[in-house]
Amino acid sequence: MPDRTNLIYEYDGSFDGLLCCVFESYTRRERPMDIRPEGQGEATLFPIRQICSDAAHAQRVWRSVERLGKEMAYLVSRAFLYGLEGKELAIWRLIAMGYKYGGEVVHMLGEEAVSQVQHMVRAVGNEAHLQLEFLRFSQYEGGLASVIGPKHYILPLMSEHFCRRYSEERFLIHDRTHGLALVYQPYQAALIQAEEIALPGAREDERFYRRLWKGYYDAIGIEARENPVCRRTHMPMRFWPYMTEFQPEEGPAAWPAFPSAPPQPLLREWDG
């Protein structure tokens, strides 16, 4: 086990970069007090070590994690999609415990490091599940487009569902929170960086279907049984700004433009 230290590790924010933090901590026999992406976090008087990503080092660490079992590899990779602070150090602690106690550590729920990572994995999975229900597409020239604002990096988890369900369509799902987009054309998909880019206004046929959907939504409601608390429980308010039934007819003012073809890097070839 690495020795204690007051160092803070900073890395490039990638999964490989985090694995390199694990590699450096064991190589240097250091136990970082915190691990954070470059440019994030408050100013500190503690020394900071910049960790450079190295594919070979990351691969060595990942192979060691896989040897600890499929569940350990699942927890580490899924927890990295957690969008709030603290995930890096929690993942480091889980891996360190795995090296010490073996793969069975994933069942030691009384350990803070294990329970914290399990909590993050549940949060990511729950949000991905809800987003599959609450995501709304709109028709534009060239394809479908949707915008979401999740807390966590859930686009990689949503990609298979929508790429299989709309295998013959062209669509774009924009994660406004994290500046990412899933772009798909038949049998090819890519995750790309995407900031705010305006789409043309909705066509008349799209506005017509929005009115139909809103009318249906209002018609099935029973005023005498209205329960706002229950509604917010099953449909959290943070999803509302991105749902057709709560938007003006024109939709959001700034959605990302749908490109003519999915750019690189290619996420994966889709078999259909």
Give me the pLDDT at residue 214, please.
85
Check whether 256 has a pLDDT greater than 60: no
Check whether 200 has a pLDDT greater than 60: yes
Q: Grade residue 105 by pLDDT with cuts at 50, 70 and 90.
A: very high
Check whether 152 has a pLDDT greater than 90: yes
Q: Rounded distance, CA 43 to CA 65, Å? A: 32
Higher-scoring residue by pLDDT: 225, 18: 18
- Out of 2-6, 36-40, 184-188, 203-207, which region has the weakest mean confidence (pLDDT)? 2-6
Check whether 255 has a pLDDT greater than 80: no
Average pLDDT, the chain: 85
For the segment 218-241, the average pLDDT, to the nearest whole number, is 86
Give me the pLDDT at residue 250, please.
58
Check whether 11 has a pLDDT greater than 90: yes
Give me the pLDDT at residue 91, please.
96
Q: Rounded distance, CA 44 to CA 83, Å? A: 22
- In terms of DSSP H, where are the helices of the chain? 15-27, 55-67, 70-79, 87-101, 112-134, 155-165, 204-219, 228-234
Higher-scoring residue by pLDDT: 157, 267: 157
Q: Rounded distance, CA 130 to CA 52, Å? A: 36
Q: What single-letter amino acid sits at 258?
A: F
Q: Rounded distance, CA 210 to CA 207, Å? A: 5
Contact between 272 and 167 under an 8 Å Cβ cutoff? The reply is: yes
Q: Grade residue 96 by pLDDT with cuts at 50, 70 and 90.
A: very high
Sheet strands side by side (includes 8-11): 34-37, 8-11, 48-50
What is the CA angle 1-45-40, rounded to 5?
80
For the segment 62-88, the average pLDDT, to the nearest whole number, is 94
Residue corresponding to tokens 């490091």:
113
Check whether 211 has a pLDDT greater than 90: no
| 114-150 residue pLDDT tens | 999 999 999 999 999 999 999 999 888 778 889 999 9
Q: Grade residue 2 by pLDDT with cuts at 50, 70 and 90.
A: low
Check whether 262 has a pLDDT greater than 50: no
Give me the pLDDT at residue 31, please.
92
Sign of the CA dihedral with 63 first, then 64, 68, and 71 last: negative
- The percent of residues in the chain predicted with pLDDT above 90, rounded, is 50
pTM of this prediction? 0.82
